[in-house]
Amino acid sequence: MKRKWKIILPILILLLIAGGIAGGQRWSQRDLVTVQTGVAARTDLTSMVTASGEIKPRTYINIGANAQGRIVEILVKEGDRVRKNQVVARIEHVQAQADVAAQKAAVASSQADSAAAEEGLRAADETIITGEATLERYKTEQKRSKMLLDNAEQMFKYNLNAKQDVDQRRADYESSTASVRENEARLKQMKVQRAQTAAQLSSTQRRIAQADAGLARIEDVLAKYDALAPLDGVVTDLPVREGETVVPGVQNSAASTIMTIADMSLITAEVKVDETDIVNVHLQQIANITIDAIPNRTFKGHVIEMGNTAILRSTGLAASQSANSSQEAKDFKVVIALDDPPGEIRPGLSCSSKIVTAVRPKSLSIPIQALTVRKKGDLQVPKDGVLASNESPVDKSLSEEIQGVFIVKDGRAEFRKVETGITGSTDIEVLSGIDEGDRIITGSYKIIRTIRNDTRVKVDNRAPMADIKS
């Protein structure tokens, strides 16, 4: 019996000692928190803004109908290249063409009247020239007759000739005087007729101008029945067919758009950037674009346009057009020009972009998840249930929120206030508050949210084992 107790007693003593040691260890680690850590290190940090949208040509124009009628001819097909002012479609224009023909006939008639008036005016001028020459001849004859009459009368006075000779000279003079008067009257009538012909010519010229203006108007109406390409480009959309009727001036109507022509020399990605990120986007920033229809390829581009009006995410309308004030999420339009677009690209393809907003080489950075926020009052270390500072627990300054991280120092968690810079995909830049090489608490997420300042910690950076589900 004594031999049995000699064996059992040492075993019991060893068990009690082992239990005491285990209990002591558990008691000493009752407030010990297991954490995961990382090291504050210098890395090349790149900040990006991600946005999605669609591929669009920089310049595209919807060709609308300028006249109502039936499409009788479409001269292009979707995908064709066209030149500026090329006729791409025709609308039925029988009435307009007949009006142009009638107006051209009116113009020709007025031009014929004008030509006749011009010929009459030239004939009148020639007749006037002939009449003036004849009048001058008769005036010369009148002067000669007058001189002969004066000589005859003088000689008759000295009885050097007979009375009959004087009478003959007087008759010749009166005849030449009558001829002068007759030609003066005829010349005056000629000038009146010329003035009438000139007035007729002026009237016909005005009628020609009026007819030309009418012809230009009707030809403009006729030209509206031909759809012309407004620029050099590619037909990207052709929603109508021959025989369909189109109408002008109806917005948002399929019957008012004949086709869309786009200038494919400059292709853009039109994306919508969240309102919280738009302040970081600027013109000429570099962007990487991926197109869903062209996988495994990334295209370079740069920002060329930024919208100044917010767009409601639910409706796609500008916030200024909304009748109701809304607190819903908003986006801003950003246009990115592709530097080297592929040949197979098409307007309307879905795409995603990553706009590089900032680059920091060799910047001090930490994992994003390590960053947390604490109230100033929560950072005070209590001693025997009393706050370390003399501030009242209800002091408003204790409610101030401070951004920072927890570092491991002497086996305890120590909160450090930090100032941050740009944000990368997984890391964030730290401008002040910690030093390179500091061990930062990075996990777990629950611990970072709940850990308190000066808490005893144990570092365990082993990868957590996934739960095995049966």
What are the pLDDT digits (tens) for 449-460? 889 888 889 888
Q: What is the mean pLDDT of residues 341-356?
A: 91
What are the pLDDT digits (tens) for 211-220? 889 889 988 8
Residue 99 CA, chain-centre distance (Å), reads: 40
Q: Which has more confidence, 30 or 261? A: 261
Q: What is the mean pLDDT of residues 253-257?
A: 64
Q: In the beta sheet, which residues pair with residue 353?
A: 51, 289
- Residue 244 confidence class, pLDDT cut points 50, 70, 90: confident
DSSP output for 306-332? E-SS-EETTT-SBGGG-SS---S-EEE
Q: Is the pLDDT of residue 260 over 80?
A: yes
CA distances to 68, 92, 99, 359, 429 from 71, in Å = 9, 6, 20, 56, 63
Q: Name all domains of the chain by residue range, CATH numbers in brackets.
A: 31-44+363-459 (2.40.420.20), 49-56+267-361 (2.40.30.170), 95-223 (1.10.287)
CA distances to 87, 142, 158, 168, 458 from 150, in Å = 88, 12, 13, 12, 156
Q: Is the pLDDT of residue 151 over 50?
A: yes
Residue 18 CA, chain-centre distance (Å), reads: 80
Percent of the chain with pLDDT over 70: 86
**346-356 in b/e burial notation, b at 16+ Cβ within 10 A?**
ebebebebbbe
The per-residue pLDDT for 52 is: 94
Residues 6+ apart with CB under 8 A from 222: 93, 96, 97, 99, 100
Q: Which has more confidence, 416 or 18? A: 416
Q: Is the pLDDT of residue 174 over 50?
A: yes
Least confident of 220-224, 323-327, 385-389, 426-430: 385-389
Give dist(CA 347, CA 62) in Å, integer: 14
Q: Is the pLDDT of residue 271 over 90?
A: yes
Q: Give the phi and the psi of residue 390 in degrees, each rounded to 5.
A: -90, 5
- Residue 117 confidence class, pLDDT cut points 50, 70, 90: confident
DSSP output for 233-293? EEEEE----TT-EE-SS-TT-GGGEEEEEEEEEEEEEEEEEETTTGGG--TT-EEEEEETT
Under 8 Å between Cβ of 172 and 141: no
Q: What is the mean pLDDT of residues 106-110?
A: 88
Under 8 Å between Cβ of 145 and 169: yes
The per-residue pLDDT for 406 is: 94
Q: What is the mean pLDDT of residues 48-65?
A: 91
Least confident of 23-32, 150-159, 206-215, 382-391: 382-391
**Alpha-carbon torsion, ordered 121, 126, 128, 132, to 10 deg:** 160
CA distances to 230, 272, 274, 305, 410 from 353, in Å = 31, 10, 13, 14, 45
Q: What separation, in Å, do the N-terminal and C-terminal C-alpha atoms of the chain show? A: 53
What are the pLDDT digits (tens) for 300-338? 999 999 988 888 887 877 777 665 656 778 899 999 999
The per-residue pLDDT for 386 is: 47
Question: What is residue 380's DSSP assignment?
Answer: S
The per-residue pLDDT for 183 is: 87
Q: What is the mean pLDDT of residues 334-363?
A: 92
Q: Is the pLDDT of residue 387 over 50?
A: no
- Residue 180 confidence class, pLDDT cut points 50, 70, 90: confident
- Residue 390 confidence class, pLDDT cut points 50, 70, 90: very low
**Alpha-carbon torsion, ordered 244, 250, 252, 258, to 10 deg:** 40
Q: What is the mean pLDDT of residues 351-369?
A: 93
The per-residue pLDDT for 350 is: 95
Q: Is the pLDDT of residue 187 over 70?
A: yes
